[in-house]
């Protein structure tokens, strides 16, 4: 009878031991599954963040190319029956290499200057054209506007638009931006596209085998520019170890701060050059 009474107690103890072991095994398996799920989540999150950053860089770069490119294509525009007006917009483009363009005191004179807030290898460009409210932009009231949408005073029936594009860092911020300084009523530079780290501009002269930088162009040659190679470098918002990219010069470059970068290039014909008319 005693043996019969002891057996159930031993059986219960054995059953209790097996239940604890099973719980430990289940907990360990749960931790393994949880660790795998966390690793998968982090991998998918990193993939999403990289994709989002790449999409943002493409969007910012395309916006910069479109904005500056549209104005370059209008460079030198003036109605064919207005020869005096054509003199006011010739040359249609003027460039600065590794500097930003500044006014020389007269509407038709420009210079170049280095600024502490500008990336040291970024170029700048001045674009001039006449506004006729048909081939160019106008406000809702019909007033001619510069690159910032600011009204420009007419000189008779037309207005001469003068826009300066360059890259700078806004005060108090680290992210570089594409800027425009127009000749509208505001007369104040404003950022247009965030993340643009560099503008690279190369110019084609008639009969040239390859484009050249602004420093290689004599003052009298700016009126001969027939096309512009415009390249922008966009800096991403996310750091990635070991990141490299192809820069505007076609070379593989290493990202010094670990940020993703993207360069985009566009070839633009100066449509209103005399050779094209």
Q: Give me the pLDDT at residue 43, please.
A: 65
Distance (Å, whole) CA 204 – CA 102: 22
pLDDT by residue, tens only, the chain of 277 residues: 445 555 566 555 555 555 777 778 777 887 888 777 777 767 666 666 777 888 899 999 999 999 999 999 999 998 888 888 888 888 999 999 999 999 866 656 789 999 888 888 999 999 999 987 776 777 777 788 888 888 888 877 888 999 999 999 988 788 899 999 998 888 889 999 999 999 999 999 999 999 999 999 999 999 999 999 999 999 988 776 657 888 898 888 887 777 888 999 999 999 876 554 4
Q: What is the pLDDT of residue 1?
A: 46
Q: Which residues pair with 262 in a beta bridge?
A: 234
Question: What is the rounded distance in angstroms from the CA atom of residue 233 to the CA atom of residue 199?
Answer: 7
| pLDDT for res 211 | 96
Share in percent of the chain as helix, strand, coil (round to 5): 35, 30, 35
User: pTM of the prediction?
Assistant: 0.81
How far apart are alpha carbons 46 and 28 in whole angstroms? 27
pLDDT of residue 124: 96
């Amino acid at each position: 009878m005693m043996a019969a009474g002891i057996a159930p107690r031993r059986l219960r103890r054995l059953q209790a031991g097996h239940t604890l072991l099973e719980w430990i095994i289940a907990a360990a398996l749960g931790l393994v599954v949880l660790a795998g799920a966390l690793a998968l989540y982090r991998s998918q999150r990193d993939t999403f963040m990289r994709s989002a950053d790449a999409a943002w860089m493409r969007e910012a770069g395309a916006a910069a190319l479109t904005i500056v490119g549209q104005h370059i294509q209008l460079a030198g525009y003036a109605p064919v029956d207005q020869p005096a007006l054509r003199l006011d917009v010739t040359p249609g483009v003027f460039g600065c290499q590794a500097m930003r363009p500044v006014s020389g005191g007269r509407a038709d004179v420009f210079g170049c200057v280095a600024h502490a807030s500008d990336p040291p290898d970024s170029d700048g460009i001045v674009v001039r054209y006449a506004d006729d409210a048909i081939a160019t932009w106008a406000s809702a009231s019909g007033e001619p506007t510069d690159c910032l949408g600011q009204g420009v005073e007419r000189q008779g029936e037309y207005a001469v638009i003068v826009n300066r594009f360059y890259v700078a860092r806004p005060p108090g911020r680290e992210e570089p931006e594409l800027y425009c300084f127009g000749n509208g009523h505001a007369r104040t530079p404003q950022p247009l596209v965030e993340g643009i780290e560099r503008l690279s501009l190369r110019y084609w002269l008639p009969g040239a085998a390859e484009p050249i930088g602004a420093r290689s162009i004599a003052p009298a040659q700016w009126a001969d520019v027939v096309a512009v190679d415009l390249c922008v470098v966009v800096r991403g918002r996310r750091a990635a170890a070991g990141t490299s990219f192809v820069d505007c010069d076609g070379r593989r470059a290493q990202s010094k701060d670990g940020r993703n970068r993207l360069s985009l290039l566009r070839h633009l014909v100066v449509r209103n050059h005399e050779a094209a008319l």
